[in-house]
Amino acid sequence: MINTITFLTRWLADRLDGIASRLESKYRSANLQSKFVDLAPTDKADKAGVYSEAILFATNNDKVSNIALTGPYGSGKSSIIQSFLKRYRRPALHISLAAFVPEADSGVEKVSRQEIERSILQQMLYGADANKLPLSRFKRIQSPGVGSVFRSLYIMLGILALWYVFHQREDIISGAFFVPLSLSHWLNLGSLVIAATFLWVTIHHFYVASFGLSLKGISLKDVEIKPAHDDQASILNRHLDEIIYFFQSTNYDLVVIEDIDRFEDAEIFVTLREINSLVNENAGVKRTIRFLYALRDDMFVNTDRTKFFEFIIPVIPIINTSNSIDMVLEQGRRLELDGRLDPQFLREVSRYLNDLRLIQNIFNEYAIYVANLETDGENLLDANKLLAILIYKNVYPRDFEQLHRGTGTLAEILNRQGELIGHGEATYRTEIAELEKRLEVAERQTPSDLRELRQIYAMALIEELPANVISVRIDGSQWIPLPQLISHDAFEQLIEAPRLIGRNVNGQQHQVDVSKLQNEVDSQKSYQQRKEEIESKTADNKNKSLRQIRDLKSKITALRTTKLKELLRLNADRVQDLFENFDENGELARFLILEGHLDDTYYQYTSLFHSGRLSPNDNKFLIQIRAFVTPEPGFPIDNPKEVIAAMRDEDFRQSYVLNVKLVDSLLSDRGSYLDQTRKLFELLSSQFESCEDFFDAYYTSGRDVAGLLSGLVKAWKGLVPTVIASPNNISHVTQLVSNLPETSLRQLARDFEELPEFVSANLPEILVNSPELEPERLACLDFEIKDLAAIKEHSEIVRVMFEEELFELTISNLEYVYQEILGENDLESLHEKNFTTIRSTNSAPLINRVERDLHRYLHEILLELQENSKEVASAILDVIRHDDIDHDDLREFLERQTAQLPSLEDVPERLQAMLFDQSVIQPTWENCLAFMESEGFEANSLIGYLDQEMVRAAILEHPIPSDTDSRQLRLFIFNAGSLSDAAYQEYARALPRPIQTLPEALEPEKIRILIDERKVSFTQENLDWLADTRPLQVRFVAINMDDYLADPENLVIDDDLREELLQSEIDNAAKLQIIEMMDLEALVDLPERSALIGSILGKTDANIANLNGSVAQSLITHSTSIAMQISLFNKFQFLMTDDEVRHVLTNLPKPFSEIRTGRNTPKLKNTRENQDLVRWLDSRHIISSWSERSVFNDDIRVNLYRS
C-alpha cells in the first residue's frame, strides 16, 4: 500500500514538473526566438500545399505503394514531409537514417547492408508500443502502468486463492468445501473462483507467449543444429514475419523513410519494395501500406526510378548559391547584425553556402560566441572575422579542431607566414642590390658621357683649325695643347668663344672664327644644354632608383606587419599545395584566407579573453629572447604591455628591446616606463651602428618616430655627427627633418652646421625617402636649395623655399624660378638682361634673394652669362650702388653692357671713373663736367672715354658748352694729349673758341691739330713758342696766312720761315705775296730757294716788282727742270741783257747750251715753250734764224751766227 501511495505521489509530481517546464519553455522561447533558431525540419515549408496535395494524391491512390520525394541535399525534403504529416490525419511511421552515417574518422569506409536493414527494422518495431506487439520475438523493456497495481493485486489474490484451495483439496474432493452453498460461505466459493480464474489466465498467458519463441539451434557438445534461414544476408527478409506482424498489429498505413540515399546502395530499395509488396498482399493486413522515400534525384540511373516508384514528387530547393545571400541576410537581421557585418563580405561568402541548416547553425553559434567574447558590451571584435571563423568551423570541423592543437591545413598555412616573409625579404634585398649596382655603374657612366660629349665638340673644333696647329687659346689666356683640350678646365670657354688663336709648330699664330661651332655640331641645342641634359638625366635616373630602393626597404620592413592575405597572394604558388588539402570545399577556404577573413588573429575569436593573456606571437618572442636569440625588429607582438611586464630589467639594455611594437609601447607611456625608456636610449646611443636594422624597421612602421628621435636628441648630444657619418645618413637625416619638432630642428641647425649643409647637398635623395615632407621643416634649417629643378616634383616645397628666399643663386635655379614659379617663358631676356628681367618680375622673394647676395650673383650669374649685355640703366645703377661688389667683377660686368647711364646721379664717386672706363655713361658734356667736378675724377678715364669713336659720334652731336662754368672742360680737352689724333682733332674742331696760349705739354701732333682747326690764337707769342718745332711754326703761319698777309708787320718772320711757307700748301697768290716780302737779291747765293721761287713763279703769270736780271738769271739757273727753266727764261728774258741771256744759255743743258755762235745747228723739241724761246732769241738777234718741220722730223732747227 505504501508503495502504491509513493508511486502515485511521484507520478503526480512528474506531471506538475512537466507543466511548469512547458510554461517556462514557452516564456523563454518568446524571448529567445530572435536569438536562436532550431535546425529541425519545419512544418511550414509547404505553405501553398503543392507538395502535400501531391503526396495526398499518391496516398489515396490504390495503385501507388512506393512514393519518391526527390531533391538535392538541403532542398527541404524533410520540412515538406513534416508539413504534410501535420495535415495527414492517419498514422505514419517515420524512419530516418541521418544519424546512422558513420564519422569520417571512424575507420569504416562503408556501412554494410545488414546494418542499414537492422536500423530500419529497429526503428520500425521499436517505434510502436510494445504492448501492441505481444507476440514479437524482439522483447523490449516494458514499464508498468497504472493497471499494474491492480494486476499485481490480482496476482497476489490468485496466488493466495490457489494456496487456500490447495490446502482445502481434501474438502474439495469430498465436497465439504462447497457446503453450505450460500453467500455466508463466500470465502470458499470466492477463493475457488479466483483460483480457477487465475490458473486459466496464467495458462493462457504462457500459451500466447509460446508463439514468440523460435528455435535458433540445439547444441549437443560437438554437434550444433541451426535453422536453414539463420545465415541469410538480408535481415529484413529474415524477419519478414515480424514486419508483417507489425503491420497486422498496428494502424500505420504510411512509412516515411529518409536519408537512406546517403549510403549509395540501391539494393536496399529493392528489398524495401519487396517487403512493401509482401505486406500489402498479406491477408492479415486489411489496408494498403505505402512507403514514402525522401532521396536524391541521382539515386537511380537513367529511367530506373520511374520503374521502381509508382509516383515521384520533385522538390524545388529553397536555397542555392544564387539566393543564399537572402538567407544569410535574414539571419543577420535576426541577430541585428546589419550594422556590423560587411554586406559585400556576406554577398561573396554566401555563394559558397547552399545549406539552410548550415547557415542557421553558423548564426546560432555566432550568437553564442558573441555573448561570450564581448562580455563588456564593447564591440571590439571584427564581426566579419568572427563570422568567417564560424563558417570555417562548420564547413571544416575537423581542421578547426586540429587548429587548436596547432595542426591541420589552416595551421600549416599560418605557419608558412615566416617562410613567406623570409622569401619576400630575400627577393627585395636582391632587387636592392641590383639597383645599387646600377647606381654605381651610372655614377661611373656620367663622367664617361660628359667626356664623350666633350670629344664631339673637341673634334669639331679641331676641324675648324688650320693644319699643323698644336695649341689654342683665347685672347690673353694661356696656350692649351690640343691633346689636353678635352680635360682642360677652360674647355667650355673655348667652344663658347667667338674666335680663338691657334699656334702652329713654327710659332706662327692664326686667328680662327669658331662662332658657328656649336651650331654646326647641333643646330638645336648648345653644348651647355646637352651637358645639362646628361646631368639631369643622370639625376632623374638616380632619384628614380633611390625611390625604388626606398620603396623596397619599406617593403622589407613592412613585411613583418604585412597581412597574411597579402603574403599569400604574392606567393600563391608556394601555398597552392596546402589549399589542395581542403578537397572539394577548397574554394571557400581560399576565399576566406586570401581575403583576410581568416588570419593569425583567429585565437582572439576561438577562446575567451583573460587579462594578462599572451598571444602565440608574444610567447614565441619571449621564448626566443630567453634563448638569447634576438628576434627581428619587426617581429609581430600582439600584447606589448604584457611582454614588457614579462621581460627582465636587464633585457632593456640588450638588443631584445629593439622591437617596433615594444618601443611603440614604451614611448606611448613614458611615465610608466621611465627606467626602461632611459635604458633604451642608452642602448641606441652606445650601439648606434648595430641598431641600423631597428631604425629602418621603426622608420617604416613605428607609430612614434618623433618621440624616439626627440628622446634620442635629448639623451645624446652626439647624435647629429654620428648620423651624418652613418652609411644610412640620408635615411636618418630624413627622419630627423620629418619628425623632430621645429624648435628642435632650429636648435640643431644652429648647433651643428653640418646638418643644414648635408640636407642641402642631399635634398633630392631626402625627398625621395620622404615625399610628403612639410616645407616649413626645411625652412627651419635655414639652408639654401642647390638645384630647384632636382626637386621639381615637390612643388609645395619649391614654393615655400622660394618664398623664404632659401635657394642658391645659380643660373639653373633662376631659370627654374622664372619659368616654373613665375610662369614666364622668355629665356632669351633672362640670358641677355638677367638682372633687368628679374627686376621686371616684381617678385619680392626673387629680387630680395638676388640683392641679398648681389656680389655672388654678379660673379656667378651675370658674369657666367656670356650674352648678358643688355641690362637697362636702372639695373646697372642698382648693381653699382652696392658697396660689397668686387671691382674686377663689376668692371667685367660693365664692359659687357650696351646700355648707358643717363647721368652720374646716385653713382658712387669711387666708381665714376670705372663707368667712363667702360663707357657705361651716356656721352654728354654735362656728365663729363660732373665727372671732372667729383672727387673720383680720373683724367685718364675721361680721356679714354672721349677717345672712343661711338662716344665722339654721340657727344659731338651737341656743341661744347661755351659758358664760364664749362671752361674747365674746354681746357681739359685742349690739354687732352692722350687722346688719339683723330679724336683730338674732332674735339678741337668742336671747341667754341681758340685758346690764347698753347698748352706746354701737348705733343706736336696735337698742336698741329689745334693749328689746323684754328683753335690757337695767331700771335707772336704762340709763333715764338713754336720756334722749336719749325714745321708747326710754318703750319701755324700757313693756316693763319690770311691774317698774316692782312698785317704782315704784326709778326716778325724771316725769309727762312717764308721759304718754308712757300713749301707749304698755301695758295700761289699767298706765295707770290710772300715772295715779294723776301729779299730776292739773296737768291744768287741760295740755289734751293731760287729753285723754289722759280717753280712758283713759273706756274703763275704774276710779275714781281723787285725782280731784276741777276735774280732772274739765278731763278732760271737753279730751277730743277728744263721745262721750268725754259718757262722762266721766256718769262723773265726781258730783264736780262744779251750777255746775261747767252750766259744763261751756256748754263742750260744741251741742246740749249749749244745755242751760241758757230756752225752748229741745234735741234730742239718742237714745243710751245721752245718756239717762244727761239722766237724771242731770233728777235733779239742772238740766233740767226730757226725753222721746223723738216722732211725727217718735227724738231726746231736753230741757225746760229757764225761769229
Q: Which three cell numbers stand for residue 957?
A: 652731336
pLDDT in tens, 907-956: 888 888 888 888 888 899 998 888 888 888 888 888 888 888 888 888 88
Please say if the pLDDT value at position 854 is more than 80: yes
Please say if the pLDDT value at position 740 is more than 80: yes
Q: Residue 754, Cβ neighbours under 10 Å: how many?
A: 14
Instruction: Name the residue with cell 626637386.
Output: 791
Provide, rounded to the nearest whole percent, the portion of the chain with pLDDT above 90: 2
Q: Are 154 and 198 in contact (CB under 8 A)?
A: yes
Q: What is the distance between the alpha carbons of residues 1098 and 1093, in angstroms, rounded to a whole number?
A: 8
Please say if the pLDDT value at position 738 is more than 80: yes
Q: Are 501 and 474 in contact (CB under 8 A)?
A: yes
704 Cβ contact list (under 8 Å, min separation 6): 663, 664, 667, 668
**For helices 113-125 and 240-249, what crossing angle results, to 10°?**
20
- Cα torsion for 90, 95, 96, 99, to the nearest 10°? 130
Q: Of residues 662 and 444, which shows the higher confidence score?
A: 662
Q: What is the band of 106 on the pLDDT scale with cuts at 50, 70, 90? A: very low
pLDDT of residue 560: 65
Q: What is the distance between the alpha carbons of residues 119 and 521, in angstroms, rounded to a whole number?
A: 103
DSSP state of 785: B
Taking residues 1119-1148, what's their average pLDDT? 78
Taking residues 841-851, what's their average pLDDT? 91
Please say if the pLDDT value at position 219 is more than 50: no
Q: What is the distance between the alpha carbons of residues 692 and 942, in angstroms, rounded to a whole number?
A: 70
> What's the one-letter identity of residue 532?
E
CA 315 to mean position of chain CA atoms: 61
Taking residues 242-270, what's their average pLDDT? 79
Please say if the pLDDT value at position 25 is more than 60: no
Taking residues 1035-1048, what's their average pLDDT? 79
Ranking 347-356, 452-461, 578-587, 620-629 by mean pLDDT, the lowest is 578-587
Please say if the pLDDT value at position 1098 is more than 50: yes
Instruction: Name the residue with cell 662716344.
Output: 951
Q: How much is the mean pLDDT over the chain?
A: 79
Instruction: Name the residue with cell 554566401.
Output: 350
pLDDT in tens, 792-834: 888 888 898 888 889 899 888 898 999 989 988 888 888 889 9
Please say if the pLDDT value at position 564 is more than 50: yes
> What's the one-letter identity of residue 766?
I
Q: What is the band of 7 on the pLDDT scale with cuts at 50, 70, 90? A: low
Is the pTM of the predicted complex or chain greater than 0.75? Answer: no
pLDDT of residue 5: 62
Of 26-30, 316-320, 844-848, give the range with the top mean pLDDT: 844-848
pLDDT of residue 1192: 62
Q: What is the band of 8 on the pLDDT scale with cuts at 50, 70, 90? A: low
Exposure letters 100-135 (e unless 16+ CB within 10 A, then b): beeeeeeeeeebebeebbebbbebbbeebeeeebee
Provide, rounded to the nearest whole percent, the portion of the chain with pLDDT above 70: 85
Taking residues 1056-1064, what's their average pLDDT? 75
Q: Are 556 and 585 in contact (CB under 8 A)?
A: no
Please say if the pLDDT value at position 758 is more than 60: yes
Ranking 445-449, 488-492, 586-590, 697-701 by mean pLDDT, the lowest is 445-449
Q: What is the three-class DSSP state of 753?
A: coil
Q: Are 121 and 108 in contact (CB under 8 A)?
A: no
pLDDT in tens, 398-409: 888 888 777 888
> What's the one-letter identity of residue 29?
S
641 Cβ contact list (under 8 Å, min separation 6): 665
pLDDT in tens, 468-507: 888 888 876 788 888 888 888 787 777 788 888 888 877 7
pLDDT in tens, 663-690: 999 999 888 899 999 988 889 888 888 8
Q: Of residues 82 and 840, which shows the higher confidence score?
A: 840
pLDDT of residue 231: 44
CA distances from 369 to 364, 365, 366, 581, 744 (A): 9, 6, 5, 27, 51
Q: What is the band of 108 on the pLDDT scale with cuts at 50, 70, 90? A: very low
Q: Are 768 and 546 in contact (CB under 8 A)?
A: yes
- DSSP letter string, 486-507: TT-TTHHHHHHSSEEEEEETTS
Number of residues assigned to the chain: 1203
Please say if the pLDDT value at position 880 is more than 80: yes
Q: What is the band of 837 on the pLDDT scale with cuts at 50, 70, 90? A: very high
Rounded (5°) CA angle 1091-1095-1099: 165
Q: Residue 1114, Cβ neighbours under 10 Å: how many?
A: 24
β-pair partners for 293: 68, 257
Please say if the pLDDT value at position 848 is more than 70: yes
291 Cβ contact list (under 8 Å, min separation 6): 65, 66, 67, 255, 257, 272, 273, 276
pLDDT of residue 229: 47
pLDDT of residue 230: 47
Q: Are 399 and 408 in contact (CB under 8 A)?
A: yes
β-pair partners for 295: 70
Alpha helices in 691-794 (DSSP H): 692-701, 705-715, 719-725, 729-739, 742-751, 754-761, 763-769, 775-780
Ranking 221-230, 660-669, 1109-1118 by mean pLDDT, the lowest is 221-230
CA distances from 503 to 244, 512, 778 (A): 136, 10, 53
Q: What structural domains does the chain harbor?
A: 41-128+239-314 (3.40.50), 149-213 (no CATH), 324-382+392-401 (no CATH), 625-704 (no CATH)
Q: What is the band of 107 on the pLDDT scale with cuts at 50, 70, 90? A: very low
pLDDT of residue 105: 46
pLDDT in tens, 610-659: 545 677 788 888 888 888 888 888 888 888 888 898 888 888 888 888 99
pLDDT in tens, 372-389: 776 655 566 788 888 888
Q: What is the distance between the alpha carbons of residues 493 and 1135, in angstroms, rounded to a whole number?
A: 83
Ranking 59-73, 429-443, 707-721, 1093-1107 by mean pLDDT, the lowest is 1093-1107
Please say if the pLDDT value at position 1102 is more than 80: no
